[in-house]
Structure 1
Amino acid sequence: MQQLDQKSRSTPLEALTRDARALANGDTVLSAPEAEVARQLQICNACRYCEGFCAVFPAMTRRLEFGKADIHYLANLCHNCGACLHACQYAPPHEFAVNVPQAMAQVRVQTYVDYAWPPALGALYQRNGLTLSLALAAGLAIFLLLALALNGTLWGGDLRGNFYNVFPHNLLVGLFAPVFLFAVLALGLGVRRFWREVTPATTGAPVSGPAAAEATSDVLRLKYLDGGHGEGCHNADDEYTLARRRAHHLTFYGFMLCFAATSVATVYHYAFGWTAPYDLPSLPKLLGVAGGLSLLMGTAGLFKLNLQRHPLQGDASQKPMDRGFIALLFFASLTGLALWLARGSVALPSLLAVHLGVVMALFATLPYGKFAHGIFRSAALLRHAVEKRQPDRLGLGAD
């Protein structure tokens, strides 16, 4: 407590100035959001009240100072569950103004910008609302115009319920494959740069089997959305809730089921010559319907929770990015399910054009929107699982 008492004699401005000056990482000076995270973590490191809440605080106790790589690593470990904010005696309106979820959220966006590939496109994170709007408009325009050009109509026609009578299979592959592969490449190169920077800051030890298994389990279970005690995290007030965790699970596994449906359909088409459309009870349709319904419920839940979010929790400037990504996922699932139900109707060409336009916008913005948080957070959780298995050089932490 002596360390905390010494800090309490400094004003927040003095502490920020001191830490920003002291925490230069080589020739790289911390940005204002990074310096703010460093300032708050110095206070947290003296208090330790939240040590058992999530992965951030045990990892924090292994450090006395916080350089850029440490801050990027810890910011991506944070799941913005809000437990520390609602428990903190130094949270606003206290003069220390400790708000770890908000400070971490601001740095996470900077992380995505800094590690974006190609670097010039990192600015799309900061203009995400405009990026999503343009991508959606372009995607819709492409497929609406193609439908008119190829079929002469967006309503009716003798299509016999077959999507490929509207857009040929090879045309769709030629349009979507390059966009999807670019998204995978951009995300992969971005997270590789992040991994290289944080590895020395997290002991640099290689990944072991047990560490990989633990990190995979933490990702798949969304362990740190339980508040660190299993009762859930905070959203609108001081009450614990598991609603965010459940909505995230529905969204994540719904997305994965839809991806699995597309993957199985690809195998059917190329390996066995079984061409679409597929109907129940075929495996692609079972996976697709289950995934679509799960994604629909999950994104609706996330949007409702986002509207109810406590104003001190997270970064308000990120809400357009969050809501834009949620909306794309919601309408991708909604139009996909509507397309299946209306497959034999005259609305098929129009619904198909709209669905493909939304999916194209989703693919095009994957590397430069909210989707990136899952990739970077998974990498941070893996480094945490590796680091916690190494000796604590300071000997100050609980683990």
Structure 2
Amino acid sequence: MSAADPMLEAERVLRICSACMYCDGLCPVFPAIDGKHGFSLSDVSYLSNLCHNCQGCWHDCQYAPPHPFAVNLPATFAELRQRSYAEHLWPPTLGRAFRASSLAVPTTVALALLTTFALVLSTGSTEMLFAADAREGAFYRVLPWPAMAGLAGGTFAWAVIAITLATLRYWRTIAPGGTISEILRALPVALSDIITLRHLGGGGPGCHDDGERPSHRRRILHHLTAGGFVLSGLSTIVAAAYHHLLGVAAPYPVGSLPVMLGLVGGVTMTVGAVGLLGLEARADREPSDRGETRLNVAFLILLALVGASGLAVLGFRSTPAMGLLLSTHLGLVFGLFAALPFSKALHAPFRAAALLRAAIDGNRRASAQAPEAAGDTP
């Protein structure tokens, strides 16, 4: 983006799009701007997160560069998405960290790794860093359970609270008003769009991740990454149940439920993140924003490292490398949780909120059109 004021550029481009509407049907952005001639800050914040960056409009647009109108909606929205994240972060001082997240995320992860290794050394477990131990409870001889649970619980709670409050702040900005019943009626449609990632289909053929040729690779890789993250979380929950309810300490047998969930989750998350990094490397830079690209890359690298390090712990847990690998994996996990509120992870709840708003607006349009259709009936 080269415009001095991205808000002015967004309004200029959106006015052209709302007059043209050639791209109607590609994604939910265009029905949302149909008939509008002015766009407020809340409108632009909503629309930029409703955009799934499939880049279909970039390739279909007759006014894209080198046309004098120079319409570049994907790049415009990419810059404004980052602004919406920074403006709604909680606490608000995190906005500065987000704007420098290409440094803030690795710095946070590095501090988490240093803290983890410092705890391992301070608890007298130095010898466990380089000793083979496959007995029950071996993981807690590397880092005692209270320290492991305390760091994991603290960083995860921080992430949940900060992201929840940031999303609520964002919802207050874009909320269309109305009643709770309207929200409940719209929720099934919004949840379907969120879970299926339908709008990464670019209106059907997929995203333009490789020039003119659309594909569903990005949608599939998003599913793998998100599904792997969820399965890894479930693995941790099941492992906690084994520990507290069954009285069995990690590491668990390879065929056990927590290990199998972690194995499948780790593989799918790593494959998905590495695949998305590959798409980023080959992406067309013109319909994108360098800041958003850096956010994507930093977050995907972190996810890939978390997944790969977890798989390494599983693969080498009976060897002298177990302690070092486990400490590294735990540090990466703690760093991931700590950095989530100012990472690209924010796009998930913000886009979910935008899809809920779109579903509410869609129901309202359908309700308004129903009496007209009934009036046309002879």
TM over 0.5: yes
Quick one: distance in 1 between partners of 2:368 and 2:356?
Answer: 21
2:12 partner amino acid: R
Is the partner of 1:391 in helix, strand or coil?
helix
1:225 partner amino acid: L
Q: Are the aligned partners of 1:154 and 1:349 in contact in 2 as well (CA < 8 Å)?
A: yes
Structure 2 partner of 1:28: none
1:171 partner amino acid: A
> Structure 2-normalised TM-score?
0.92
Structure number with the higher helix fraction is 2
Is the partner of 2:363 in helix, strand or coil?
coil
Quick one: distance in 1 between partners of 2:35 and 2:265?
Answer: 41
TM-superposed CA distance for 1:62, in Å, is 5.1
**Cα distance change on mapping 1:146 and 1:237 into 2, 3 Å:** same
Q: Are the aligned partners of 2:200 and 2:207 in contact in 1 as well (CA < 8 Å)?
A: yes
TM-superposed CA distance for 1:203, in Å, is 5.1
1:376 partner amino acid: F
Where does the alignment leave 5 or more consecutive residues of structure 2 unmatched? Answer: 374-378
1:179 partner amino acid: T
TM-superposed CA distance for 1:281, in Å, is 2.1
The CA deviation string for residues 307-355 of structure 1, in whole angstroms up to 9 with x for no partner, is 0011112211222211110011001000000001111100111111111
TM-superposed CA distance for 1:210, in Å, is 4.1
1:134-213 equivalences under 5 Å are 134-149=107-122, 150-153=124-127, 155-157=129-131, 159-161=133-135, 162-199=138-175, 202=176, 204-206=178-180, 207-213=182-188
2:189 partner amino acid: E
Structure 1 partner of 2:249: 275
**Cα distance change on mapping 1:89 and 1:174 into 2, 3 Å:** same
TM-superposed CA distance for 1:146, in Å, is 2.4
Structure 2 partner of 1:225: 200
**1:120 has 2:93 as partner:** yes
Q: Are the aligned partners of 1:299 and 1:330 in contact in 2 as well (CA < 8 Å)?
A: yes
Q: 1:285 aligns with which of 249, 253, 259?
A: 259
Q: Are the aligned partners of 2:132 and 2:319 in contact in 1 as well (CA < 8 Å)?
A: no
2:18 partner amino acid: N
Structure 1 partner of 2:311: 337
% identity of equivalent residues: 38
Quick one: distance in 2 between partners of 1:168 and 1:106?
Answer: 44
Is the partner of 2:210 in helix, strand or coil?
coil
Quick one: distance in 2 between partners of 1:275 and 1:155?
Answer: 19
TM-superposed CA distance for 1:33, in Å, is 1.4
TM-superposed CA distance for 1:299, in Å, is 0.7
Backbone CA RMSD of aligned residues: 2.0
The CA deviation string for residues 36-67 of structure 1, in whole angstroms up to 9 with x for no partner, is 11111100000010010001111111533110
Quick one: distance in 2 between partners of 1:96 and 1:90?
Answer: 6
TM-superposed CA distance for 1:158, in Å, is 5.6
Quick one: distance in 2 between partners of 1:203 and 1:189?
Answer: 19
1:56-75 equivalences under 5 Å are 56-61=29-34, 63-75=36-48
The worse-fitting range, judged by mean Cα deviation, of 143-152 and 237-246 is 143-152
Is the partner of 1:234 in helix, strand or coil?
strand
Q: Are the aligned partners of 1:205 and 1:387 in contact in 2 as well (CA < 8 Å)?
A: no
Structure 2 partner of 1:38: 11
Q: Are the aligned partners of 2:132 and 2:322 in contact in 1 as well (CA < 8 Å)?
A: no
Q: Are the aligned partners of 2:129 and 2:142 in contact in 1 as well (CA < 8 Å)?
A: no
Quick one: distance in 1 between partners of 2:189 and 2:310?
Answer: 35
The CA deviation string for residues 15-44 of structure 1, in whole angstroms up to 9 with x for no partner, is x9xxxxxxxxxxxxxx92122111111000
**1:92 has 2:56 as partner:** no
Structure 1 partner of 2:191: 216
Quick one: distance in 1 between partners of 2:68 and 2:165?
Answer: 41
TM-superposed CA distance for 1:392, in Å, is 7.2
**Cα distance change on mapping 1:114 and 1:223 into 2, 3 Å:** same
Alignment length (residue pairs): 365
**1:361 has 2:335 as partner:** yes
> Structure 1-normalised TM-score?
0.87
Q: Are the aligned partners of 2:131 and 2:319 in contact in 1 as well (CA < 8 Å)?
A: no
